Chains A and B, each alone.
Chain A
Amino acid sequence: MLYREAGQFKTSYSADMAMFPIRQDRIALVLLLLVAFIGVPLLASDYFLRAIFVPFLILSLAAIGVNILVGYCGQISLGSGAFMAIGAYSSYKFCTGVHLPLDWIGAQISIPPLPVLPSILLGGLMAALVGILFGIPSLRIKGLYLAVATLAAQFFFDWVFIRVQWFTNYAPSGSVSAPELNFLGWIAHSSIDRYLLCLMFVVVFAFIAKNLVRGSLGRQWMAIRDMDIAAELMGIRPLYAKLTAFAVSSFMVGIAGALWAFVYLGAWEPLAFDINRSFQLLFMVIIGGLGSILGSFLGAAFILVLPILLDQVPHALGIPISVETISHLVFIITGSLICYLLIVEPHGFARLWGIAKEKLRLWPYPY
């Protein structure tokens, strides 16, 4: 690397436990944020903002959520798509007002339409609640069995949002459109506004996630992941650790789902959150790096950019290649990469980045 931590002495525990202990890393992060908040909106074209940066940011947020559950707590989930859907549809309901007649007790729940921001947060909260509910089986079962339990969530909610018309406000086509993105008077219209909106959400939640995983809660998750029985014997409550992981993960995935629907899609159908979305998120986490916040971003970028690259590069080189072939190639490359990474580098791109940094530290005299 171009820099080393030589000469930076830690004189307190809090300095030692800081999120980014090396000064140059902090500078790099600030620069990165400056580029993201100022440089990108100035330089990137409308197409790039709309078709690459916005979905990248939202999927990164979802991948962070999935990574907390799968990477940090070791509980596999194939139902992330369903939790995105729950976030999206409950935000939509809160935005348009909730009227739920409960005839059998002669009462009704009625909530007036809420502004967008609380709706999105409440959507995340609903996803967290359902996440806790579907996390309960994880106390008895794990591994593959848990994968099936989360698949049950996926299929069940696919069906709920298609068949139960209450969620779509009885829209005849089953497709619903997002309300105006009005944040305390600031309306996100243009691609730049939408990009900045997503960026703010992602920055806030990435910091929260980064903080959680290095704190007591994160260490409990990792203990459960590494060996649950041993962790239990050491006094870590599996009930608390697992359910908090499910709750935090589903909350972030739910927020990402709401953003995906409101900001990226605009109008959406339940198919936007089907099982392929769950697999996509899982792949991002595996490829990017299990148990790494940075990896979530790298994985999201890779999975998102790969099809676009495969579409554009042969085009630019003048090689005719059909859309079908591209989709098959995407399948093959993603699949091979997953197998390769699981065999060679189970911690994904994030670990490769770490290795590269280690090598560069000693470069050009590696001895």
Chain B
Amino acid sequence: MIAFGQFAEVLIGGLLAGVLYSLVALGFVLIFKASGVFNFAQGAMVLLAGLALVRPLDYLVAHGFPVWAAIVLGLAFAAVVMAASAWLIERFVLGPLVNQDGLTLFMATIGATFIIEGLGQLIFGSDVYPLRLFPVDAWFLFENLFPGGILVNKLDVWGGLIAGVLVAGLAIFFQKTKTGRALRAVADDHAAAQSVGIPISWIWFVVWLVAGLVALVAATVWGTKLGVQFSITFLALKALPVLIIGGFTSVPGAIVGGLIVGAGEKVAEVYLGPLIGGGIEYWFAYVLALIVLIGRPQGLFGERIIERI
């Protein structure tokens, strides 16, 4: 029973951590679906959103604002910053690169990553800023079943709830609203969408805005977990295998991919790690992704890649 209790704890912890990866991966999927751009800057956007949230928040609290008002104002300010950066990226980086191939756009977003990281830290500072929006203590479940119970972080559960709400909201946005339909049209075919009168630059701005807001949500959770700091940008690298496994074009794929990576990573670390030297969390997700890539390049839920001359 002890062994099973430990396994359940590792598995649940992994699954919940995986949901947090999915939060970041969602931003990637949104942009890729709507514009065919693989947005390497998503990790940097999480950092920027976190910085733009935590700095005004600390400032306002220090100047005697009530905490709830400071949080609301901070979130609003961060949302404005994300909107501004979405507009700037669309206007100055991706707008001029319409009709270039995917690799060029990818490299352009790597450039954008560096600009965002540099500017964000230059303006807002580059220390570690703790953020406390969610409880960080833990529950112990099923104490009557297993000795010591199963440890579950409250923050991870919050993250899971938020991810669920986010996916539901995005699904409604994509399926039911006019803008959402336009987004799907643009994703299908840029030229055809333009020819029926969909304003493509406006749609791209909306996409980047939504991705920025998803980054803000991810920043509230990850900022609480790690503190708002530079290493948050490496989340982009954690989210990449999630995307490969789930498929670049699928929102449910991002969630399932996150769960697989999170659970696989933790279980492998605990049960395989001691055998080959520990720290395999570092690359396990990538090896999983590599296996998926060789067997099924479009990912578990992605659309089949068809190429024509």
Contacts and interface: CB of A to CB of B under 8 A. Distances in A.
Given A76-B103, A143-B102, A275-B237, A155 B115 contact: no
Contacts of B277: 163-164
Contact of B110 (A328, A336, A338): A338
A207 interface: no
A137 B289 CA distance: 12
Residue in A144, A149, A164, A330 with the greatest tally of chain B CB atoms within 10 Å: A144
Contacts of A76: 103, 106-107
B218 to A, nearest CB: 20
B18 interface: no
Contacts of B114: 331-332, 334-335, 338
Interface stretch (B79-87, B92-100, B154-162): B92-100
Contact of B107 (A140, A141, A158, A342): A342
Interface in A332-351: 332, 334-339, 342-343, 346
Nearest to B276: A163
A337 B114 CA distance: 10
Contacts of B119: 328, 332
B307 interface: yes
B103 A143 contact: yes
Interface string A65-109: 000000000101000000000000000000000000000000000
A130 interface: no
Contacts of B108: 338-339, 342-343
Q: How large is the interface on A (under 10, 10 to 19, 20 to 34, 35 or more residues)?
A: 35 or more
A331 B115 contact: yes
Q: How large is the interface on B (under 10, 10 to 19, 20 to 34, 35 or more residues)?
A: 35 or more
8 contacts: A143-B102, A156-B283, A156-B286, A159-B283, A229-B309, A279-B110, A282-B107, A338-B108
A114 interface: no
A151 interface: yes
A335 B111 contact: yes
A352 interface: no
Contacts of A275: 237
Nearest to A227: B309
B136 to A, nearest CB: 28
A149 B289 CA distance: 8
Contact of B115 (A164, A279, A336): A336
A145 interface: yes
A227 B240 CA distance: 26
A342 B97 contact: yes
B102 A342 contact: no
